Amino acid sequence: MKGPAIFLAQFAGDQEPFNSLPSMAKWAAELGYKGIQIPTWDGRLFDLKKAAESQDYCDEVQGICREAGVEVTELSTHLQGQLVAVHPAYDELFDAFAAPEVQGKPKERTEWAIDQVKMAARASRRLDLNAHATFSGALLWHTVYPWPQRPAGLVDEGFAELARRWTPILDVFEENGVDAAYELHPGEDLHDGVTFERFLESVGNHPRANILYDPSHFVLQQLDYLQFIDFYHERIKCFHVKDAEFRPSGKAGVYGSYSGWQERPGRFRSLGDGEIDFGGIFSKFTQYGYEGWAVLEWECALKHPEQGAAEGAPFIEAHMIRKAEKAFDDFAGAGLDHEKIKRVLGLAQ
For position 191, which CATH number holds?
Answer: 3.20.20.150
Q: Is the pLDDT of residue 118 over 70?
A: yes
Q: Is the pLDDT of residue 225 over 90?
A: yes
Lowest mean pLDDT among 46-50, 180-184, 257-261, 337-341: 337-341
Residue 56 placed within a domain: yes
Lowest mean pLDDT among 75-89, 99-113, 224-238, 326-340: 326-340
pLDDT at 175: 98
Q: How confident is the model at residue 334 (pLDDT cuts 50, 70, 90)?
A: confident
Q: Is the pLDDT of residue 73 over 80?
A: yes
Q: Which of 33, 27, 29, 24 is nearest to 4 (CA)?
A: 33
pLDDT at 341: 87
pLDDT at 349: 66
Kindly report, residue by residue over 156-186, the tens digit of the pLDDT: 999 999 999 999 999 999 999 999 999 999 9
Q: What is the CA radius of gyration of the chain?
A: 22
Among left, alpha and beta (phi > 0; psi -120 to 50; other), residue 288 is alpha
Work out the average pLDDT over 217-235: 98
Work out the average pLDDT over 237-256: 98
Q: Is the pLDDT of residue 71 over 70?
A: yes
Average pLDDT of the residues of the chain: 97
Residue 65 placed within a domain: yes
Work out the average pLDDT over 313-334: 88
Kindly report, residue by residue over 140-154, the tens digit of the pLDDT: 999 999 999 999 999
Kindly report, residue by residue over 283-297, the tens digit of the pLDDT: 999 999 999 999 999
Residue 174 placed within a domain: yes
Work out the average pLDDT over 102-121: 98
Q: Which of 126, 170, 144, 173 is nearest to 255 (CA)?
A: 144
pLDDT at 153: 98
Ramachandran angles phi, psi of 2, nearest 5°: -115, 150
Q: Which of 218, 179, 174 is nearest to 74 (CA)?
A: 179
Residue 349 placed within a domain: no
CA separation for the pair 39, 13 (Å, rounded): 12
Work out the average pLDDT over 214-235: 98
Work out the average pLDDT over 74-92: 98
Please give the tally of structural domains in the chain: 1
Which 8-state DSSP code applies to residue 89?
G
CA separation for the pair 77, 8 (Å, rounded): 13
pTM of the model: 0.96
Which 8-state DSSP code applies to residue 208?
T
pLDDT at 241: 98
Listed in sequence order, the residues at least 6 apart from 98 whose beta carbon sits closer than 8 Å to its beta carbon are: 83, 109, 112, 113
Which 8-state DSSP code applies to residue 48?
H
pLDDT at 331: 77
Q: Is the pLDDT of residue 258 over 70?
A: yes
Q: Which domain holds residue 126?
A: 2-344
Number of Cβ within 10 Å of residue 138's Cβ equals: 26
Kindly report, residue by residue over 4-15, the tens digit of the pLDDT: 999 999 999 999
Q: Is the pLDDT of residue 335 over 90?
A: no
Q: How confident is the model at residue 328 (pLDDT cuts 50, 70, 90)?
A: confident
Alpha helices of the chain — where are they, by DSSP H? 21-30, 48-53, 55-68, 78-82, 91-94, 106-126, 154-175, 193-202, 215-221, 225-232, 278-288, 305-319, 338-344
Burial call 159-197: b when 16+ CB within 10 Å, e when fewer: beebbebbeebbebbbebebbbbbbbbebbbbbbbebbe
